[in-house]
Structure 1
Amino acid sequence: MLDTLVFATVLLPFLVAAVLLVLRQQNVRKVILVATAGVLILASLAMLRGGAFILSPAPLYDSLVTLGDFVILLVVLCVGLKRKNQIIIWLTAAQILGLIWLDFFMVEGHGTTPAFFADDLSLIMVCIVSIVGSLIAVYGIGYMKEHEEHLHLAKSKQPRFFFFIVLFLGAMNGLVLANNLLWMYFFWECTTLCSFMLIGHDDTEIARKNAERALWMNVLGGAAFLFALIVLQKVAGTLSLADILARGPEFAVAGGAILIPMFLLVFAGMTKAAQAPFQSWLTGAMVAPTPVSALLHSSTMVKAGVYLIVRLAPIYAGTYLSNFIALFGAFVFLATAALAAGQSNGKKVLAYSTISNLALIIACAGINTPAAITAAILLIIFHAISKALLFLCVGAIEQKIGSRDIEDMRGLYARMPRTTIITIIGVLTMMLPPFGMLMAKWMAIESAQGQFLVMIMLALGSGLTVLFWCRWAGILLISPFGKPQPETQDCSVRLPLVILAAMAVLVSLVSPFVYNGLVAPVVAMYYKATAYAVSYGNLESASGVFIVYPLFILLGLGFYYAVKQSRKVTAAQVSAPYMCGEQETVDGKPGFLGPLGQHVAAASGSYYLEQFFGEAVLTKWINVVAMAVLVIMLFGGAL
């Protein structure tokens, strides 16, 4: 049974992807995608119910993984040569040489290391990838049809698009289940290649440029990953993740040489998670079709980075490296939250807020206490659901109104009532109590109370997140709802939005049980203690309590009353904005009589304070500080 579940979540997507690549019939493709999504979801839930395991497939698979490593590296090398990108060429060449040395001269008997290992953290990640990722893939059916109609393509590129989407899901499941770090490296590089192909899917000049940037930054992380394995094999004598974690206390006490591969692996995770100064690859990925953005930002690519950092946290607990990771994460959390506050482009708000939340998870890994690791795992869960939902909403809105700017979403309810409500739900689950994101942020700030500077940065960053989420929610809610137009939407687009919105609310509603059943066992396993107790559905710690169900009741009543009242407001009851001078309305647009008798239309907009939060103002200094912390982390923490 276990073999079947691993096959369904890891190998099956690879096989389905190959079929989709050669399949041209659109209706058959839909059926296969929906069926694959169903299998992935059911298999991941069955695996979660089954609990922890260790699995060793046939030795043949070790050889196939080794072959796959070299194939991927050769493909990337060819891309580097074709694009004449020296960074890609030399980093990939170094990886090929390093892999030859590691595979054929250092590691003996691949078959002795179990390929797969899972505890509750791995199983949580499999569920996130398989459920959220599958819903994004299904959403892509309707979205890509309309996307290609807008582009007026003579020949559909959907076979290649869905090939990499489904391949991505299998690679991510393999990555989070991998016990043999050489297997993890293969899946790691597979996600790098998939992201490059998906970001450059539309084959425009800007898409090719951003795909190339994503590739070289992630190849840099891949090189760090591989050379970490070389050092780790030398220092620890094993590439078994389960063995290394079991020896975590021993390594934490010994310190020294083990921190060098730990730093390299953490650095690889930071590049994959698009942390400063590598954030530009993720913001550049916004040029890709929306399913790609949602997949990269919520459940796959970037989550691989933070998963690795959180997974390794017990090994570097109590070291200087851990303290520097906390400091780095807190700084990037605050800095990128400020960048998000200066954006009106909906996708950029989501991109920077994603980087910010990932940095918060990294900060929690660095704080490295039971409370902090609890916050990190809960952030991974709730962020994946709500952020995927918001990306898909923005994609649907953009196709309807031709803009992703949140200022153009004023009065959106009249045109897209269902999508507007779902978007509001997504925004509220990111910032309001008692939803899981705010609960996890509360845990993170509480866990940082022993590190004053980190705690201050986390508190300030959290304040800024409230700023940009409130602005967005306000724009959606500021116009009277009135009587909306009927909203027509492809079923493959509508259902993922509805399901993700329901998940965002329901998973928060059962958050005490999620903590008790999934998160607490992981924390107790590696830290021999838990930070919170569940009492009457509330989460309690030594320093506070997070009330869940009474707040849910109040929030539900308030939301119901607000929607009910807004439906009663008619256009006749809404006062036009008052402006000095003679007011007049032309073509239904309010304004005033200006100089020379010219009509001046009224315009409203939010403050974005670009002089403080603009990309041009902050990015350079954020990158400089982040790079400085990384250098200090290397020499001060690892040595």
Structure 2
Amino acid sequence: MQTYLAILLLAPFIAAIGIFYVSRYVLFLVFSLSVLLVGSSVFAYISFESAFILSIPALNPFVVAADAVLLLYFASVGWKNRHKPILALSIVQIVLLGLLESFDAPQGFDILVDRLSVFMFLLINIVGSLILLYTLRYIRDETDDPLRQRLFLSLLSAFLGIMNLLVSTDNLQWLFLFFELTTLASFWLIGFRRNEESLDNARTALWMNQIGGVALLGAALVAKVLMGSIYLSEIVSEGGGYVMLFAAFFSLSALIKGAQIPFSGWLLGAMVAPAPVSAILHSSTMVKIAPYFLLKISPLLALTMLGWIIALIGAVSFLVSAALALREDNFKKILAYSTISLLGLMVLTAALATPLSVLACLLLIVFHGISKALLFMCAGIAEKRYRIKSIESVQGLFQRAPLLSLLVVLGFVSIALPPFGVFFAKWLVYEGGNGAGGVTTVILLLFIAVGSVALTLLYFKTIGRFLTDGAAQREKEDYRYLIPPAILGVLLLVFALFISVAMGGFFRETAADIVLNPVPVWGDKGGIILPFGQIKLWHILAAFFLLGIAPLLAAIFRFKGVDRVMPYTCGERIETDAYSFYFDPAGKIESFANLLSLVLFLLVILAGAFNL
């Protein structure tokens, strides 16, 4: 384990330096790093027997110094750009960091790699490595400057290392450093194009995530000053009179990093960045900090008012973001809203903290990470190769680029239909909720049901656009672009085909380790058994058959013998209706949802303060 961990924590930074300074070996370094990260994460999972712990007190002064330098840099950004929120939040963080350092706490284990850490290693490094390989081709279409090409690859490589460190640490002061380093990386990557729009959105991402940093420092202060510990595992296992206040601040940092309403603006603005940034930040790595944080403290949230409030915040984001996505036409914006929506579902399932809901959260983390990375890659190909940003412009793309179009369809299907993991995650929540009962549970299930309908409408609206006919000839597709998303597509199909084995083994073991209780899910002869129901192997195989036969039938019988023309409107505006699946609820519900979520955020603090 030690060797694999050393590779995962150090190799990305060594490779980042090499990529930036040694231009002749960029291709070799990226491929070598990808192989090392994938291999080490897989073998770390295979060889995992018990948690790996390590204390490195000698590094604490360097961590504090790095924290201070980072916050001073944020302050300089605020000062230079005359951006008052960034400057003010930087000052608040510096004061809180100084206050935190004025108190002492007993030394514990700075590094703690448990089964959840190993689980996250697999997602971060397998998906992240494929995004790095994809970027080798993408960046050549993004910029002609070799230095900026290497800078971009170096930042992505280092970001994977930061994420590996974040999921490996137990020390809250170390965790704050890695948390804010992800904020720094997102600030640089979102602003990579250096136009005014990119820089504005990068600054928005910076100040919103700084609020999350303030919340995390608040959690660290509560832990160190009031509870006498700075180590997450000790706080969760030992509890204490202030543990719910700690959990409240810690949860707020997760919710903000996870772009939950009303802090979703930073993720929506991040869509102006190059496609690999969207893929690596908003599918497999940075936004997954939210469910990861909540899963780490899930024993504290179970059956508490605080847990229910956090779950309701996730439910609101899930439903409202799904509805708002229906008004969008921009491909990446659609992906952004659906990402916020599914992150809301992850927050909901993690906060409920039951064995079945935690298992559902793990399914969502993996399948969403793979599917959204695939879709953002495809969005980048559509933009760079075919100059398509809007789904209204994709007519005929199926004829021009059938492989790309099929990958897009697979990506959307995998987060909407059986036999893929997102569908089973919702099924687990429904089954668990039906068994739990209660008014709050009914409300949450209602949010999930309506939000799921909105997302399904969204996905099929988008799929329909990609499969429309057009007067276009097939073009040669660039397979260097397509290989990484195609590998992700194969992973989705393999996971779906062997979902029984995965849920009964890989996911179930991780969930049981998190909740410290058995998880009542079993794989049986290719099927899945729950206390409340069962899916047999033939159900899964039938779903695969329908997924294959439905597009074929549509291609054969679609509008056969029908002469179709676009209506001539003499310049008149055509109002949207239910048939077109475009809804614009912004004026009616968006402002209300922001206000409601803000109130719920305040209730999180109150629930923590009153130990509810």
Task: Give the TM interval when normalised to the shorter protein.
Answer: over 0.9
Deviates more, 1:375-384 or 1:256-265: 256-265
Corresponding position of 1:630: 601
The counterpart of 2:329, out of the listed 336, 344, 354, is: 344
Alignment partner of 1:543 is 2:542:
no
Partner of 2:124: 129
Per-residue Cα deviation, 1:268-294 (whole angstroms, up to 9, x for no partner): 001100111110100000000000011
TM-score, length-scaled by structure 2: 0.92
Give 1:234 shift.
Answer: 2.4
Q: Secondary structure at 1:613's aligned position in 2?
A: coil
**1:213 is the counterpart of 2:212:** no
User: Residues 396-437 of structure 1, C-alpha deviation per residue, up to 9 Å, x if partnerless?
Assistant: 112222122112222211111111111111111111111111
Determine if the alignment matches structure 1 residue 54 to structure 2 residue 52: yes
CA distance 1:17–1:48, change in 2 (3 Å): same
Unpaired runs of 5+ residues, structure 1, are 578-589
Q: 1:530 to 1:556 in 2, by over 3 A?
A: closer
RMSD across aligned positions (CA): 2.7
Contact preservation (8 Å) 1:224, 1:264: yes
Shift of the 36–452 alpha-carbon distance from structure 1 to 2, 3 Å rule, reads same
1:308-335 CA deviation, whole Å, 9 max, x = no partner? 0122111232221011111111111111
Say if 2:134 is the partner of 1:144: no
Distance 1:24 1:607, change over 3 A: farther
**Hey, what does 1:575 align to over in structure 2?**
562
User: Which has the greater radius of gyration?
Assistant: 1
Indicate conservation of the 8 Å contact 2:399/2:469, yes or no.
no
Offset of residue 353 of structure 1: 0.7
CA contact (8 A) 1:295 1:301 kept: yes
Find the residue that maps to 1:342 and give its secondary structure: coil
Partner of 2:478: 489
Given residue 596 of structure 2, which amino acid in structure 1 is its aligned partner?
A: V
Does the 8 A contact of 1:330 with 1:359 survive in 2?
yes
Secondary structure at the counterpart of residue 201 of structure 1: coil
1:471 deviates by 1.0
Q: 1:576 to 1:518 in 2, by over 3 A?
A: same
The answer as to whether partners of 1:367 and 1:447 remain within 8 angstroms in 2 is no
How far 1:499 moved relative to its partner?
0.4
With over 3 angstroms needed to count, the CA separation of the structure-2 counterparts of 1:138 and 1:617, relative to structure 1, is: farther
Contact 1:277 1:623 in 2 (8 A): yes
Task: For 2:318 and 2:555, locate their aligned partners in 1 and report how far apart those are by CA, in whole Å.
Answer: 38
| Residue matched to 2:467 | 477
Q: Which residue of 2 aligns with 1:264?
A: 249
CA contact (8 A) 1:324 1:637 kept: no
CA distance in 1, matches of 2:589, 2:161: 37
Partner residue of 1:323 out of 273, 291, 308: 308
SS of residue matched to 2:599: helix
Moved more, 16-25 or 133-142: 16-25
Specify the alignment match of 1:465 in structure 2: 455
Question: 2: distance between equivalents of 1:64 and 1:84?
Answer: 30
Task: Summarize deviations over 1:123-171 as a string: whole Å, max 9, x none.
Answer: 11111000101111111111110122xxxx5665112212211111001
AA aligned opposite 2:40: A
Aligned to 1:172: 163
Task: Show the counterpart of 2:367.
Answer: 382
Question: Aligned in 2, Cα 1:316/1:236: closer, same or farther, shift over 3 Å?
Answer: farther
| SS state at 1:117 partner | strand
Contact 1:225–1:268 (8 Å) recurs in 2: yes
Q: How far apart are 1:524 and its partner, in Å? A: 2.8
Offset of 1:297 from its aligned partner?
1.1
Between the aligned partners of 1:318 and 1:561, the Cα distance in structure 2 is: 44
The answer to whether the Cα contact below 8 Å between 1:445 and 1:459 also exists between their aligned partners in 2 is: no
Distance (Å, rounded) in 2 between the aligned partners of 1:301 and 1:496: 20
Q: CA deviation at 1:446?
A: 2.7
Per-residue CA deviations over 1:513-569 (Å, capped at 9, x if unaligned) read 22232332333343423132222222222222234x323422333344455556668
Whether the 8 Å CA contact 2:504–2:521 is kept in 1: the answer is no
Conservation of the 8 A alpha-carbon contact between 2:350 and 2:357? yes
Local SS of the residue matching 2:267:
helix
Three-state SS of the structure 2 residue aligned to 1:431 is: coil
Deviation at 1:174, TM superposition (A): 0.7
Q: Secondary structure at the match of 1:514?
A: helix
TM-score (norm: length of structure 1): 0.89
Post-superposition offset of 1:189? 0.9
Cross-structure match for 2:225: 234
- The answer to which of 531-540 and 78-87 deviates more is 531-540
For residues 559 and 375 of structure 1, the distance between their equivalents in structure 2, rounded to whole angstroms, comes to 23
Aligned AA (2:483) = L
With 48-57 and 184-193 compared, the bigger mean Cα shift is at 48-57
Q: In the TM superposition, what is the alpha-carbon distance from 1:507 to its structure 2 partner? A: 1.5
Contact 2:105/2:224 (8 A) holds in 1: no
Rate the CA distance shift 1:75–1:490 in 2: closer, same or farther, 3 A.
farther
Question: 1:570, CA displacement in angstroms?
Answer: 11
1:15/1:107 CA distance change after superposition, 3 Å: farther
C-alpha spacing 1:517/1:117, structure 2 compared with 1 (3 Å): farther
Distance in 1 of aligned mates of 2:594 and 2:326: 18
Counterparts of 2:78 and 2:310, CA distance in 1: 31
- Show CA shifts across 1:463-501 (max 9, x none): 111110111122223438x9962432152x221111000
1:16 aligns with 2:15: yes
How big is the shift at 1:77? 1.6
Gaps of 5+ in 2: none
Query: Which amino acid is the alignment partner of residue 48 of structure 1?
Result: Y
Q: Which residue of 2 aligns with 1:87?
A: 85
Give the distance between the partners of 1:530 and 1:437, measured in 2 at CA. 18
Instruction: Please give the alpha-carbon distance, in whole angstroms, between the structure 1 residues aligned to 2:62 and 2:263.
Output: 32
Q: 2:318 aligns with which of 333, 343, 354?
A: 333
Aligned partner of 2:110 among 84, 108, 115: 115
Give the distance between the partners of 1:335 and 1:560, measured in 2 at CA: 32
Aligned to 1:619: 590
- CA separation in 2, counterparts of 1:515 and 1:15? 36
Residue among 64, 72, 94 paired with 1:66: 64
Which one of the candidate residues 487, 492, 495 is aligned to 1:507?
A: 495
CA distance in 2, matches of 1:412, 1:506: 27
For 1:417 and 1:307, how far apart are their aligned partners in 2? 36
1:542-621 aligned at under 5 Å gives the runs 542-547=531-536, 549-562=537-550, 575-577=562-564, 590=565, 612-621=583-592
Give the counterpart letter for 2:138 in structure 1: Y
Relative to structure 1, the CA distance from residue 368 to residue 591 in structure 2 (aligned partners, 3 Å threshold; closer, same or farther) is: closer
Matched residue count:
603
Which amino acid counterpart does residue 12 of structure 1 have in structure 2? Answer: A
**Structure 1 position 349, deviation (Å):** 1.1
Q: Which residue of 179, 185, 189 maps to 1:188? A: 179
- Return the letter of the residue paired with 2:499: S
| Amino acid in structure 1 at the alignment position of 2:526 | G
Question: What does 1:404-419 align with in structure 2 at a 5 Å threshold?
Answer: 404-419=389-404
Could you tell me how far apart the structure 1 residues matched to 2:472 and 2:567 are?
A: 28
> Could you list the per-position Cα deviations for residues 162-216 of structure 1 after superposition, in whole angstroms to 9, with x for gaps in the alignment?
2211111001111111122222111111100000000000000000000000000
Identity %: 30
- Is the contact between residue 343 and residue 614 of structure 1 (CA under 8 Å) also seen in structure 2? no
Q: Secondary structure at the match of 1:542?
A: coil
